[in-house]
Structure 1
Amino acid sequence: MAFCTKCGAEHQAKFCPKCGQPVSGKQDQEPKQSEKTTKHKEKTAKPKGNPLKKWLVAMLLILIAGGVGGYVYAGKYFSYERAVDQLVSAIEEENADQIRSMAESGVAESITEEGMAYFMAIMHEQERLDAFRVDMLANLSGEQADVSDYPAVLEQSGSVWGIFDDYALKFESYTIEIRHVVPDNGVTVHYNGDEVGVFEDGNNRLTIERIFPAGDFITIDYAGGYGEAEEQIAVEELGDLFTDRLLSYTWDFEGSYIDISANRSDSYLMVNGEETGDAIGSGMTLGPINFNEIEFIQAYTEGQFDRLISEEKAVNPDDSRYELVFDEETVEKIEAEDLFSSINQHVTDWVDAYRDQDPGKFSMLTNDFAETYLTRTRGNFDEQRSQGWRYQGYADRVDYDIASVRILNDQADHLEVSIDVRLNFQSSFYAVGTDPSNTPLTRSTSEWTYYLLYDTDRDLWLLDGQEELDNWRPEDEYRYEL
């Protein structure tokens, strides 16, 4: 193979087919580069660059592009729009763990499982949840939407890396106000089982601050003079937790009450022996009862003369019903006519005894009183005989002061009463041996308090004592003509 000595083209002909140079002599085996070609190659050749520098430049461009994209992505990730969507989705899906993770620090732990379930339930209503989304977006965008009705709101709570805003769910604080009407100390309040207050020294109001208290419960108990009582209240029953921030409850336990009845419908109540003026009638309720102050109760009724009083009944916290019983036999015995009959008979006996000077005429005296009374009467008779005087006349009327009757003992086997009386006589004393008709009768009176005891064997009243009255001032006078 030959090469052209002029242009270096490879050929085997006598003339170079490229430049026409004739072939002369021996041809070179290797082509020679022309000076022009060599210079051209030297002129167009590129210098060799640094590979590390090229790599760093490429990486910088990639980082710049990635950083811008990452910032844009992070901005969307930490945006309030995404936080609102995340919260709404958690409510829709009833994802309590997600909601707790979004709550502000230290709050989630104070909300019970029941409380969280209640929160999701009241927020889950579609119309309410849609309004919540709109209001949260508007408020976080700076439009200042009214979010005061919601039990929890999403708020900006800090920043991430000092660049992006962070958001947390803030639950509203509730005020729970507890009152009571127990007229005594010793009322204790527990919140979720923990004691939070004791009402003392007339204080009847307690305020508790809690974060979304749904699922919480309050226990109020009392042990004191008015008995014992306990009540438990679920907080969500005190109001609408969606709109109400002040929840109040008044414990209406005033103390224990007792039911009282009596076997007489015209009876009234006595407490510790004191009349209250409260009519028992067919039945009554008394309270609140302070068992430290009330020892016993009784019933009383206005009889024909005095108050009839029932048996005592001790009052204690274990009993709520009491029946007060009058001794009907006693009530039946204290009748006006029976008393009048015995006293009238005694006055008649007195006239007969003094007229005949015979102590045996007295028939209405108890054995105990008869001994004293008859001894004095015999002395009077002895004095009259020694002076030569005899008695004549009669008793024409006995006046009774009904208001003065007192029941001194109402036991059936020892029934005793007293009554004030005035005795009216037409009488005189005349000398023995003279004509009685020559001594006119004159009116005289004497006033006495008579004490009478019921004799169960003879079934009548007997005179058991007497005291002379200084003044006769009847309040309710009844005149009995003899």
Structure 2
Amino acid sequence: MAKYCAHCGSPLKEDAKFCPGCGFPVNPAQSAEHVQPAPPQIMEQAAAEAEPQTRYTAKSLTLKKRIYIPIIAVIVIVGALFFIGKTMADPQRTIDAFKNAVQNQDVHTLAGLVHTNGNMPADRSQIKAMLALFQKQPGIYTNVLHSFQQSIKSADTQSGSSSPYYLEKSGKKFFIFNNYQIRANLIHPLVITNLKGMQVGIEGVGKAQTAAQASANSPETLTLAGVIPGYYTIYGKSSSMNTSVQEAIHSAGVKVDFSGIYIPVRSNISDAELYVNGKDTGKTLAQVTEWGPFKENDSPSFYAKYTVNGQSIQTDSVNISDSSYDGSSLTLDQAENDGIDLTFDESGSDNFYVLDRNDSGTNRNTLNSYFSNFFDALGTAVSSGDTSEFASYFETDTDFSNMQIANAKKFNSQGISESNQSFDITNIQYIGKDTFSMDVSEAWNESYTDQNDNFVNKDFTLKSNYQVKETAPGQLKIVGQKITDRQELN
């Protein structure tokens, strides 16, 4: 038997749970026995109205789904994007990436994370220098991480922090979120040098600069290329000194001094050759007044050697060390300030004579002493006949020396006595081959008994040109004499 909705009279299917006409639930307990058939007119009207009402409800539900589903999807997508964007813009994410890259020594990643204060990415060589700084001075790395955390807590940037690296806001990410970068201020180290032409720079960074204006009395200061904080090798190269220093550059004001240290050197024999670190410099002490350049912590040694006619003498060595001055050793600072003296001990002898080829002003004193002794020996040889000392002023067994000795003996045999009253040496010149020329004005007194047994006492003067030669260190020999004038005074 057919069933009908008790509410609107619409016909119901056997297993219907809801009325297709009005949507009311069908009471499961309802049965055909309890439901009265609707009148035919009502049944026809309900049937006519049931179909359009059902179509209208299904379309409404479909339209609602088409409207609400895209809206919900957009909300979900926007929310997801917001969450992702906020996560990606989180400064802690940048800090963590930095920490991991430092731990892994990941130069490539760090090169993309670290920027200069000119918003330029740091290059790989400077990133390596940064990592070296963190390794050698871990306290700096700790300070950097602390600065990053403080940046997150503060709305202000940390560019004024004492940390060499800081976290700073840099524009927007996705037009909404604050973007963060790790920044470092570029530092320009300074180099001072007194060596003209020295090229200075930072290894692996930029181009070298040349100290074109430097001089010993006026050092030049050069500003090197800007670098991020790190551990760098600063170098200086010149014809006289190549040097380098590894420097931790993490704050402004880094200054490296590549000035050469020059040590004044003196000797009592100016024509002696200077030896440094056991090697002949090829220079005499007359040609150099100081030697260098040396750099800090150098420990050179010095001595001088004087060679004449294949025979040499040399001074004791003077060493530069960390100990105090003790006569043969002194510090680099002491040597720079006070200079060093290379003294030939042989010069203390009365018969040690050395002439300066550059006529330093000492030659006249040396020759005055030499000729004073020579004229005394000449007077003794003539007056007493003892020519042993007189002969020592000449080269052995030469025509000139044999003639001089013979003349002295001849005068002695004639009973002549001579003594020098005075002399004056002028026009001293070095004429080559270890030989010097000089003019000597001499005043003599001579006495003898003539053929008539009369005692004769007279004075006379000579003007002579002598040639004196160094034959060995400290030894002078007279190798020539030419009398240009003789005058008897009475």
Once residues 422 and 350 of structure 2 are traced to their aligned partners in structure 1, the CA distance between those partners, rounded to angstroms, is 12
Structure 1 residue aligned with 2:191: 178
Decide which of 203, 206, 217 is 2:222's aligned counterpart: 206
Q: 1:52 to 1:115 in 2, by over 3 A?
A: farther
In structure 2, the CA distance between the partners of 1:17 and 1:98, relative to structure 1 (3 Å rule), is closer
Secondary structure of the 2:254 match is strand
- What are the within-5 Å matches in structure 2 for residues 203-282 of structure 1? 204-212=220-228, 214=230, 216-223=232-239, 228-234=240-246, 237=247, 239=248, 241-242=249-250, 244-253=251-260, 267-269=269-271, 282=316
Alignment of 1:393-412 (within 5 A): 397-401=419-423
The counterpart of 2:481, out of the listed 448, 452, 464, is 464
**Residue 109, structure 1, aligned to residue 123, structure 2:** yes
The residue type equivalent to 1:102 in the other structure is L
Q: 2:354 aligns with which of 308, 311, 317?
A: 308
CA distance, structure 1, for counterparts of residue 265 and residue 481 of structure 2: 40
Q: In the aligned structure 2, how far is the partner of 1:216 from the partner of 1:462? A: 66
Residue in structure 2 matching 1:59, options 62, 65, 69 = 69
Question: Which whole-Å CA distance do the structure 2 matches of 1:467 and 1:2 have between them?
Answer: 174
**Quick one: structure 1 residues 398 and 214, their matched pair in 2 at CA, closer, same or farther if it must change by over 3 Å?**
same
**Cα contact 1:180–1:205 (8 A) shared by 2:** yes
Q: CA deviation at 1:462?
A: 9.2
Instruction: Using structure 1 for the length normalisation, give the TM-score.
Output: 0.54
Match of 2:80 among 50, 60, 70: 70
Unpaired stretches in structure 1, ≥5 consecutive residues:
9-15, 22-30, 287-297, 313-330, 350-363, 378-391, 473-482
In the superposition, the TM-score normalised over structure 2's length comes to 0.53
Q: What residue in structure 2 maps to residue 154 of structure 1?
A: 167
Q: CA 1:107/1:398 → structure 2, altered by over 3 Å: closer, same or farther?
A: same
Quote the residue 1:341 is aligned against. 377
Q: Hey, what does 1:136 align to over in structure 2?
A: 151
Distance 2:171 2:38 in 1: 79
RMSD over aligned CA atoms reads: 6.0
Native 8 Å contact 1:110 1:211 kept in 2: no
Aligned residue in 1 for 2:178 = 165
Structure 2 Cα separation of the partners of residues 189 and 126 of structure 1: 29
Q: Which residue of 1 aligns with 2:462?
A: 448
Q: Is the 8 A contact 2:189 2:254 kept in 1?
A: yes
Deviations 1:156-182 (CA, angstroms, capped at 9, x unpaired) = 223233222322222320112122122
How far did residue 155 of structure 1 move? 2.0
Distance 1:302 1:65, change over 3 A: same
CA contact (8 A) 1:268 1:301 kept: no
Higher gyration radius (CA) = 1
Whether the aligned pair in 1 keeps the contact of 2:428 and 2:436 (CA below 8 Å) is no
**Is the alpha carbon distance of 1:423 and 1:106 closer, same or farther for their aligned partners in structure 2, counting shifts above 3 Å?**
same
Match of 1:422 in 2: 443
How many matched pairs?
A: 364
Tell me the amino acid that sits aligned with residue 481 of structure 2: D
How many angstroms apart in 1 are the aligned matches of 2:34 and 2:419? 188
Cα shift at 1:73: 0.9
Q: What amino acid sits opposite 1:445 in the alignment?
A: D
Q: CA deviation at 1:116?
A: 4.5
1:276 CA displacement: 8.0
1:53 and 1:100 map into 2 onto residues whose CA distance is 55
Q: Deviations over 1:66-125 (max 9, x none)?
A: 255235414522444434543454256436244333234642335446324225535687
Letter in 2 for 1:138: K
Distance of 1:347 and 1:152 partners within structure 2:
97
Measure, in 2, the Cα distance between the counterparts of 1:127 and 1:282.
55
- Confirm or deny: 8 A CA contact 2:462 2:486 kept in the other structure: yes
Question: Which residue in the other structure is 2:200 paired with?
Answer: 189
Indicate the percent of aligned positions where both proteins have the same amino acid: 10
Q: Tell me, what secondary structure is at the counterpart of 1:447?
A: strand
Q: Residues 398 and 467 (structure 1 numbering): CA distance in 2 closer, same or farther, change over 3 Å?
A: same
Q: Structure 1's 341 and 348: CA in aligned 2 closer, same or farther, altered over 3 A?
A: same
Secondary structure of the residue aligned to 2:170 is: strand
What is the distance in 2 between the residues matched to 1:452 and 1:124? 79
Amino acid at match of 1:109: D
Q: Which residue of 1 aligns with 2:92?
A: 82
Q: CA deviation at 1:137?
A: 1.2
Question: CA 1:465–1:277 in structure 2 vs 1: closer, same or farther (change >3 Å)?
Answer: farther
Distance 2:255 2:173 in 1: 41
In the alignment, the residues of structure 1 paired with residue 177 and residue 94 of structure 2 have an alpha-carbon distance, to the nearest angstrom, of 16
